[in-house]
Amino acid sequence: MKKLKTDRGAKQNKIETKAKYTVALAGNPNVGKSTIFNNLTGMNQHTGNWTGKTVANATGYFEYRGENYQLVDIPGTYSIMSHSEEEEIARNYICFGNPDVTIVVVDATCLERNLNLVLQITEITDNIILCVNLLDEAKKKKITVDLEKLSQILKIPVVGVTARKKKTLNELLKATRKACEHKEKLKTIYQVQYEETIEKVIRELQEILIKQYQIKPELARWIGIKILDGEESIIEEIENQLHIDIGENYSKKNKEGKDDDSNELKTIKKQITEELKEKGITKEIFKEKLVTTMVKNAEEIAKKVCKFENKAYAKRDRKIDKILTSKKYGIPIMILFLLIIFWITLVGANYPSQFLFSVFGNIQEKLIQFATYIHCPEWLSNMLILGVYQTLTWVISVMLPPMAIFFPLFTILEDLGYLPRIAFNMDGFFKKACCSGKQMITMCMGVTKWEIF
């Protein structure tokens, strides 16, 4: 057994050191991204989704047809417009991590919602594979997705899989190999077209960025959009990664020691901003137009490629949403659920805690008797039994039962889809403190830990 583990470790290290291509794995939460990652790399990556659980990129390695690949599982996110830490990590890796190909995983049962992220990524890079997962769930709900038509519209490879069945990933591996080796020359991929006023100013900035900084057209277009969007964290990252002078506080020098020649970009940016304001397009309105256009495009594409035999398949979910996320009942129901969980956790933990105290207490008495029998020095027996053993068993007796109750209960809520609804209910309150509604989940966990102590 030890030899087998050593052989596997040696093989993994060999693949790691000789990885020729880097593949990014992106997607919304709960689309099976981590399942694909685990099946390809053989690693047991945890699939928790609340903030604080996945805030870094998980990396694994796999071999396919003689070539070694590095697979980077970036945090699940609904957008890369930088509203939370996981969105920033995802955006920064896709933009500046330079993966050879980006696989975007989507859920076949709610393609329209997932396409928003896909369209955002197509604005950054042209080497994308769309992986449509959960086809088995879509079949149960009598949803059909025309993968070939979707590929024609987006002009990127589209592969359908059921991630839980490892054999269905073969087509994804073939498409990944072709994309990495550039055997299939991609045409200009689908781009969201905004209204003419916005398209005109984006093209102006795009041309300057290509000419002045030799940036790829797709990335230059995206940077142009972000310059006009004015999101400070994104602009700062673009400046740091690509050395482009966009903000007012940028003072980086080039290698020759001269000022970074970007006056033209800043001048045109100022002119364009003023021009848009004259037409009534402020930063807020500009962002709203971007999001609205993106959502409409996703909706139109989904209508073209998805067929629903049972058009009321989501009717039950919508009815549940109307109650659980309503202004009238949403918060009271949430408070009731959380109170029940906390009550079960704290009151229910008393019984196993008392049992553990009793068991460990009996063992402690036996240990004291044994120490006396072997004439162990009192200072040593006190240190080992009343110090180390007693402290350790008290911690286990107090901490283990509530944790063993609370986390499974929270997992059930996650599987039932109630945690996103809690985040939705609390988002408005938390935004006033410049946070996301998802922070409510970590706050609940923190309250439980405080109550345990």
For domain 2-181, the CATH superfamily is: P-loop containing nucleotide triphosphate hydrolases (3.40.50.300)
Residues 250-286: tens digit of each pLDDT: 544 444 444 444 467 778 888 888 888 888 888 888 9
CA distances from 327 to 380, 425, 426 (A): 63, 8, 11
Residues 73-117: tens digit of each pLDDT: 988 888 887 666 777 888 888 888 889 999 999 999 889 989 999
Other Cβ atoms within 10 Å of 26 Cβ, number? 29
- CA dihedral of residues 38, 39, 43, 46 (deg, nearest 10): 30
Q: What is the pLDDT of residue 64?
A: 92
Q: Is the pLDDT of residue 404 over 80?
A: yes
**Strand ranges, E, within 32-140:** 58-64, 67-73, 101-107, 128-133
Residues 327-380: tens digit of each pLDDT: 888 889 988 988 888 888 888 888 999 999 999 999 999 999 999 999 899 899
Its pTM stands at: 0.71
DSSP state of 74: P
Residues 137-152: tens digit of each pLDDT: 898 888 999 999 999 9
Residues 334-347: tens digit of each pLDDT: 889 888 888 888 88
Q: What is the pLDDT of residue 450?
A: 55
CA 432, distance to chain mean position in Å, is: 23
Contact assessment for residue 302 and residue 390, using Cβ atoms and an 8 Å cutoff: no
Q: What is the pLDDT of residue 253?
A: 43
- Locate the domains of the chain by residue range: 2-181, 196-281, 324-452
| Average pLDDT along the chain | 82
- DSSP for 197-230 reads HHHHHHHHHHHHHHHHH---HHHHHHHHHHHHHT
CA distances from 246 to 197, 203, 256 (A): 21, 17, 20
Q: Is the pLDDT of residue 448 over 80?
A: no
Task: Give the Cα separation of 361 and 371 in Å (integer).
Answer: 15
CA distances from 275 to 34, 109, 186, 195 (A): 45, 42, 36, 15
Residues 179-203: tens digit of each pLDDT: 988 755 555 789 899 999 999 999 9
